[in-house]
Amino acid sequence: MHGEFKVPGGKLVVVDLEVAHGKIEQFRLAGDFFLEPDSALEAINGAVNGLAVEAEPATIVAAITAALPAGAILLGFSADAVATTIRRALQQATSFADYDWQLIQGPPVDPVLQMALDQVLAEEVGTGRRKPTPRIWEWEKPAVVIGSFQSVRNEVDLDNAKKFGFDIVRRISGGGAMFMEAGSVITYSIYAPSELVQGMTFADSYAFLDEWVIIALRALGIEASYVPLNDITSPTGKIGGAAQKRLGSGAVLHHVTMSYDMDGEKMVQVLRIGREKMSDKGTKSAAKRVDPLRRQTGLTRAEVIDKMVATFRGLYGLSPSEITLAENAAAHQLVVEKFGTDKWLHRVP
C-alpha cells in the first residue's frame, strides 16, 4: 500500500507498507522533509513495523516518538504527519493529482440557490456523475450565510438585515456566519470524492484542501497562513474562513469565503458578533477583524481570482465546466423543498 500527505506549509511525506495478519510490515518512510540524525529514519520504520492496522493515530505517534533518538530533529513534517500518511495508505486515499478537475465560475445567482447548488454539485461528485470540481461563486444580492447549527436570532440583527437588504440563508456545513455582498468577497467551493481526505482529521483536511489558495495568496505578496481550525489569515488580519461537510454520497464539500473589500461597519450592524467571540480572536474591533484582499494586494477582485485559478491549474490541472441543466433543475427543486423553507432556515431558531 502507498500513501502520500503534503503537510500544509511543510513537506511531502510518503509511505509504502504491506499488511499481513492484521499487522503493518515492510514499512518505508520517504519524502522531501529534513531529518537528523540519519538513524532516525530507520528508527521510525522500526517503530511502525508490527503495529496493528487498526492502530489509532495517537498510538502510531506515540510509537514513533518513543523510538526517535535523543535530540532528533524533524523539519517540514512530524510524527503526526507520518501517522496521517499511514492512515491514508491503509484507507486507500487519493491525492489532488489523481483527478481531472473541472472549474465552474459563476454565474451570479440568488443566495438561497447558492446553498442548494453546493449540495447538488457535491452529491453529483459523490455519485460519479460529475468530476471533482472547484467552483468560484458570484453574488446576485447581499446575504448572511449562517452555519448549519447556528441560531438565526443569535447571529443576525434581523431589523438591520432587512434595512440593508440582506437575505438570510442557512448552509449545510457548520461554522460561523458569513457576511456577503456582491463584489466584496471571494467565495469558492471544492466538491471532491471523500477518498481525497481519507485518513485525515478534520483539522488536517481543512488546511490540506486550502493549501493551493495559500500558495496563490503568497504569490500575490500576502504572508498568508492557516490558523486551525478553519481560518486563512495574514499578519495584518483575518482574510477568510472555511467550512466543510462530508456527505453520505461519498463526497466532501469544502467552501471558503475571503474578504476582498468588506464594509466592516455595516457588517457589525447586521451580524451579532458577541464579546466572547471577539476576545477569542484577540481583537477589540469587529470591524477590523476581516482584512480585505484589495488593501493587501492593490489588485482588482478579478485579478485575485485569476491568480487563484491559475495556481490551481498549475498545481493540479483544470478544465472549464458549467452547471448542467439537470443540476440546475435539482438545485431549484431543493430550494422549494429545503433551503427556501422556514423550517430549514429556523431549524435552530
| Predicted pLDDT at 284 | 52
| Predicted pLDDT at 275 | 46
Half-sphere exposure of 198 (CA within 13 A, CB side): 20
Q: Are 103 and 319 in contact (CB under 8 A)?
A: yes
Neighbouring C-beta atoms of residue 265, cutoff 10 Å: 9
Q: Which residues of the chain have pLDDT under 70?
A: 274-291
| Predicted pLDDT at 273 | 80
| Predicted pLDDT at 282 | 47
Report the number of secondary-structure helices (H) and strands (E) in the chain: 13, 16
Q: Output b/e per residue, 60-80; b: 16+ Cβ within 10 A.
A: bbebbeebbeeeeebebbbbb
Among residues 191, 210, 171, the alpha carbon closest in space to that of 250 is found at 191
| Predicted pLDDT at 262 | 87
**Could you tell me which residues are beta bridge partners of residue 240?**
232, 258
Domains (ranges, CATH) in the chain?
2-90 (3.30.390.50), 96-345 (3.30.930.10)
| Predicted pLDDT at 288 | 56
